Amino acid sequence: MRPIFLGLLMLVTLSGCARGALDIDCPSFETMRRDLPYSQLEREIHGLGAEQTAPAPEQAELTKRVENTLPSDYDPAHPEAPTPTPILLLLSGGGQWGAFGAGYLNELRLRSDLPEFTVITGVSTGGLQSLFISVATTEAFDGLLAAYDPVRESDVVDRNPAWQAAFRGSLAGLEPLRRRLENALCPDDRIDDPSRDCMLDGLRALKGRKTVLIGFVNAENGRFQYVDAVDLAQLPRREARTCLTGAALASAAMPVFFQQVRINGVAYYDGGVRSSVFEASVAHTAALVTERRAILDALYNRVWVDRDARLPIYVVRNGPTTVEPDPAISNQPGPLSAALRAESIVVNQLEVGSISALRIEHPRGPLLLVTADGWEEAGCVKPGGGVMFDKGFMNCLTRYGAQKARVPDPWISLSQLPLRGQEPPAPPDS
């Protein structure tokens, strides 16, 4: 009886150490978040009715949002030129692997090779990146690099030993990341002084110029939802900072790994668990906008030299596409070890599947990809011991990303798929 009593006493004592949720108060969040529209195929799978004669409200709203960020008129100096269409950047999750994407995109900027993206989406670490990349100033990119250069892991998360996850509710708390994000958006010594600029003002200035979507999963109803960071930035400064921080944290809140994030009492999960539908839906929306403009341009005899090239989609995979070997897992039969290993395998498959789904949704046209594959050959050493954010490893990934951006063809151009009745297209040169 004594061991049982002591065990129960320990559980009761440790339960008082439970971390609990990270609560964020953003009164405007419910009115600004949106459900990701179902595709026609998804509607059929879910049994939501026959083919619609008109777009669902969610699709119509997203289409209008993307369309409103593009110039509505053609260039009078070149009346024969087609009207502008979206240029998409899709940023994946990956935690500390986001250092790779940060180094890669910054190096492209320094070399004047970074496209002028009009639609940017991000989940998890990609959601954080989207805030900086959309602003696209030197100061914003400096902030992006700083975000992936912590002095110590505790600057990003409060990590506890893995064995404590059962009663703490997660492997790491997110309060340090919350403070880090708030400081990057607008430091406390500037937030109440409108005469002093901060990155938040750069986001606010993107209204009507860019769409910046951060995705997450509503834990209560299971729906993938998103907010437009540019819309959130229009709120009063303090509220905007809180709400943008909340959206980025919600998108990164991977269950078990990180502390639960609640906004106005509603729990949200890492958007990476459904990133494939997010990317495919946004790309589909951009295609709808592009098709509308193609019809209009045809009426005015504006020439599309290469119709397929009108919708370039760029994808940054913040991490490798292969699962790292783990020979030790066979001798670790515990539930937590099994859950963490399964999570790494499933997430990898989701990321690879999301890229494949994009090509199936858009069989033709430029689909350009970069990944962190090759990181080991670059000399980067990932630390063991459950470390989530290691300065040395992240610095190496940043350098490796920059190195990849310096090669003659830095993007992988994915093969196009043949359409019915057509010969298979030639594989890309790169």
Helix (H), strand (E), coil (C) string for 58-99? HHHHHHHHHHCCCCCCCCCCCCCCCCCCCCEEEECCCHHHHH
| The token pair that represents 165 in the structure block | 């996850």
Residue 256 falls inside a structural domain: yes
* Residue 74, CA distances (Å) to 66, 83, 305 in order: 17, 5, 16
> 180 near 266, Cβ under 8 Å?
no
Give the pLDDT of residue 140: 97
Which run of H or E residues covers position 153? none
Residue 207 falls inside a structural domain: yes
Residue 159 falls inside a structural domain: yes
Calculate mean pLDDT across residues 61-81.
Answer: 73
Residue 362 falls inside a structural domain: yes
| CA 305 to mean position of chain CA atoms | 32
Give the pLDDT of residue 300: 59
Q: What is the pLDDT of residues 325-365, one digit of tens each?
A: 777 778 777 766 776 677 677 777 777 777 877 777 778 78
> 200 near 241, Cβ under 8 Å?
yes
Total domains in the fold of the chain: 1
Q: By residue range, what is the domain housing residue 394?
A: 28-73+85-325+337-414
Q: Which residues are catalytic?
A: 124, 270
Residue 408 falls inside a structural domain: yes
Q: What is the pLDDT of residues 89-132, one digit of tens each?
A: 999 988 999 999 999 999 999 999 999 999 999 999 999 999 99
User: Which of 72-81, 167-176, 196-205 tops mean pLDDT?
Assistant: 196-205
- CATH code, domain with 34: 3.40.1090
Residue 406 falls inside a structural domain: yes
pTM score, whole prediction: 0.86
Residues 158-176 as b/e (b if ≥16 CB within 10 A, e otherwise) read bbbeeebbebbbbbbbbeb
Residue 17 falls inside a structural domain: no
Residue 54 banded pLDDT, cuts 50, 70, 90: low
Give the pLDDT of residue 8: 39
Contacts of 181 (CB under 8 A, 6+ apart): 128, 244, 245, 248, 249
Residue 4 falls inside a structural domain: no
Distance CA 149, CA 399 (A): 12
